[in-house]
């Protein structure tokens, strides 16, 4: 788990502990006023209109309420902290408000108030994580479900983390869902919908809760700070930092905010939040990026050593480097971000050092590095090699550019032998035996594919990494069809320089000086173009440039990621 996430989790747990302690005090002091209430509880929405994000869910529920189309069971799916339980309570309020079944509960009547306080007899919240036994479900649901609501119009069962129920408990629940008593509504909430049996899922109206955007979270944090009288005592960029660390979970963001407020004597600053969250400072990240740009390996490794000496978390550095590179990419492609002027200037300066493709590659590599570091037994080594790899990623195109081949390859008609690149000085290649008699060439290549990969690895680690999810699927004349699973690797393999490297290596290993590659995407294979002549299947079609679409897809995935 990334440090910021685990930190957020520990903060969150503390938040829960505080909330728990507060509720205990409330019980003990029997009505004595307890001054402390966590921000998350205090600012929990009491109306659909106050819900942050999730407009699609709110709209659908309100429409259903307005037209009285009430389902017996709802399934709320989404990561933690996105408001599933809050929405469930709002639904319970809308069904039971003293003003009638309403699309917006009043929030002030006795019924609404008792639901807000969690004191309503007819709104039963069950945490499946702590009630996994079949007995609990039987007792809480099956045996009591047939009784009419005690005071309300509807009895509402909210089962949180429903995927944690045991099989027997699911079966008990399923029985109830199959013959739902009237005046009973189930809201099942889960972070893992695929762990909920299909039989249950199929009986529920499903809503997917999205991670909240940084923008939504910053907006809510700002609102809370203003309500709390913090006007002029916080730096907006500090809220951006918190929203990023929260990764789409408003509950975590509010808990972090609360923690920061407790420490913020002289105001809520970027520096304070950064030190609380353990986020790597921009200055360090900028030096890393400079080192990458210059390909200055000694400088990069000195930075790693410095980080180790000063006790920084290396995994966190990789995480923050990925985020920083993503910010550079955002800046480059003109996605506006809420940043201080100072930071914008830094981003501008560094974004100018790269083109978009380079930044995409770097972001991707940084993500992979972060993933590798999660399980690394020697994080320093992994970070060093990862940075080296990223620096090479930038260098490779210049180093291996072979000016001999003109980019007319794509229009070369089938059967016409092309001019071959002149031989370059090479490390002695691993070679393979000639194909056995009767063995097809493609089988021969497949059989020795690993030898080729080994050789490629020695020449270009980066090109090698792209080919790891590719398969040689066909050989037509001298054109080897490589089928890629991922658009990103496919795109990189199509890159002139990597392509040259791969072809060069193939020719040597298989001793076929005319061998060329034709990268294709596996998704393209299954959808052949209608009307494409059969004999043209192996011909590279000019004008077919699926790269553009893939880049867009990849970019979209970048910005969708919380």
The footprint of Zn ion (CB under 5 A) covers 97, 105-106, 109, 112
Of 112 and 509, CB closest to Zn ion: 112
CA-based nearest residue to 242, from 258, 265, 228: 258
Instruction: Please give the DSSP secondary-structure letter assigned to residue 511.
Output: T
What's the CA gap between 290 and 354, in Å, rounded?
A: 11
What's the CA gap between 77 and 25, in Å, rounded?
A: 33
Could you please report the per-residue DSSP string of 452-486?
HHHHHHHH-HHHHHHHTTEEEEEEETTEEEEEESS
Tokens of 251: 């509950």
Instruction: Please give the DSSP secondary-structure letter assigned to residue 193.
Output: G
Element (DSSP H or E) covering residue 521: strand 516-521
Element (DSSP H or E) covering residue 555: helix 547-560
The edge-to-edge listing of strands for the beta sheet with 479-484 is: 470-476, 479-484, 516-521
Strand 479-484 and strand 516-521: the pairing is parallel
Strand 479-484 and strand 470-476: the pairing is antiparallel
Q: 516 forms bridges with which residues in the sheet? A: 479
Instruction: Please give the DSSP secondary-structure letter assigned to residue 427.
Output: P
Strand 205-208 and strand 73-77: the pairing is parallel
Tokens of 182: 């009237």
Of 97 and 159, CB closest to Zn ion: 97
Element (DSSP H or E) covering residue 397: helix 379-400
Instruction: Give me the least distance between CB of 107 and Zn ion, in Å please.
Output: 6
**CA distance to 110, 122, 129, 175, per residue, from 144 (Å):** 24, 11, 20, 14
Q: Residue 207 in 3-state DSSP?
A: strand
What's the CA gap between 346 and 340, in Å, rounded?
A: 10
Q: Residue 517 in 3-state DSSP?
A: strand
- Asked if residue 520 lies in contact with residue 484, where contact means CB atoms within 8 angstroms, the answer is yes
Q: 205 forms bridges with which residues in the sheet? A: 74
Instruction: Please give the DSSP secondary-structure letter assigned to residue 542.
Output: T
Determine the number of helices (DSSP H) and then strands (DSSP E) in the chain: 25, 8
- Asked if residue 134 lies in contact with residue 168, where contact means CB atoms within 8 angstroms, the answer is yes
């Amino acid at each position: 788990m990334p440090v910021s996430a685990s930190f957020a989790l520990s903060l969150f747990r503390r938040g829960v502990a505080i909330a728990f302690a507060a509720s205990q005090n409330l019980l003990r002091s029997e009505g004595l006023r307890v001054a402390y209430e966590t921000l998350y509880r205090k600012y929990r929405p009491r109306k659909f209109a106050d819900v942050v994000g999730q407009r699609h869910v709110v709209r659908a529920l309100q429409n259903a309420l307005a037209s009285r189309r009430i389902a017996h069971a709802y399934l709320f799916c989404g990561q933690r902290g996105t408001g599933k339980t809050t929405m469930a309570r709002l639904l319970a309020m809308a069904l039971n408000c003293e003003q009638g079944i309403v699309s917006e509960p009043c929030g002030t009547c006795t019924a609404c108030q008792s639901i807000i306080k969690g004191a309503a007899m007819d709104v039963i919240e069950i945490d499946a994580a702590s009630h996994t036994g079949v007995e609990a479900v039987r007792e809480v649901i099956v045996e009591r479900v047939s009784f009419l609501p005690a005071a309300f119009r509807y009895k509402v069962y909210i089962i949180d983390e429903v995927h944690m129920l045991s099989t027997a408990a699911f079966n008990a629940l399923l029985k109830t869902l199959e013959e739902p008593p009237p005046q009973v509504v189930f809201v099942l909430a889960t972070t893992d919908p695929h762990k909920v049996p299909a039989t249950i899922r199929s009986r529920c109206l499903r809503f997917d809760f999205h991670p909240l955007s940084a923008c939504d979270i910053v907006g809510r944090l700002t609102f809370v700070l203003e309500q709390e009288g913090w006007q002029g005592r916080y730096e907006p960029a500090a809220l951006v930092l918190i929203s990023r660390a929260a990764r789409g979970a408003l509950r975590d963001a509010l808990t972090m905010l609360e923690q920061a407020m407790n420490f913020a004597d002289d105001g809520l600053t970027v520096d304070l939040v950064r030190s609380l969250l353990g986020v790597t400072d921009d200055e360090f990240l900028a030096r890393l990026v400079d080192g990458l740009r210059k390909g200055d390996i000694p400088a990069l490794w000195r930075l790693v050593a410095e980080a180790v000496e000063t006790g920084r978390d290396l995994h966190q550095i990789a995480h923050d480097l990925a985020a920083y590179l993503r910010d550079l990419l955002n800046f480059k492609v003109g996605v506006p971000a809420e940043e201080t002027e100072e930071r914008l200037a830094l981003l501008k300066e560094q974004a100018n050092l790269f083109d978009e493709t380079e930044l995409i590659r770097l972001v991707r590599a940084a993500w992979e590095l972060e993933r590798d570091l999660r399980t690394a037994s020697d994080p320093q080594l992994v970070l060093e090699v990862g940075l080296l790899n990223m620096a090479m990623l930038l260098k490779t195109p210049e180093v291996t550019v072979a000016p001999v081949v003109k980019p007319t390859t794509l229009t070369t008609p089938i059967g016409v032998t092309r001019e071959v690149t002149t031989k370059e000085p090479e490390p002695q290649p691993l070679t393979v035996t000639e194909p056995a008699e009767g063995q097809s060439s493609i089988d021969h290549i497949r059989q020795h594919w690993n030898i080729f990969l080994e050789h490629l690895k020695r020449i270009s680690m980066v090109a090698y990494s792209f080919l790891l999810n590719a398969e040689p699927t066909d050989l037509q004349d001298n054109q080897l069809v490589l089928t890629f699973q991922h658009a990103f690797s496919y795109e990189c393999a199509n890159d002139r320089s990597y392509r040259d490297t791969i072809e060069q290596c193939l020719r040597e290993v298989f001793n076929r000086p005319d061998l060329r590659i034709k990268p294709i995407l596996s998704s393209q294979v299954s959808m052949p173009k209608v009307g494409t002549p059969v004999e043209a299947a192996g011909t590279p079609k000019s004008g077919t440039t699926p790269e553009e679409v893939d880049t867009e897809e990849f970019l979209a995935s970048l910005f969708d990621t919380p």
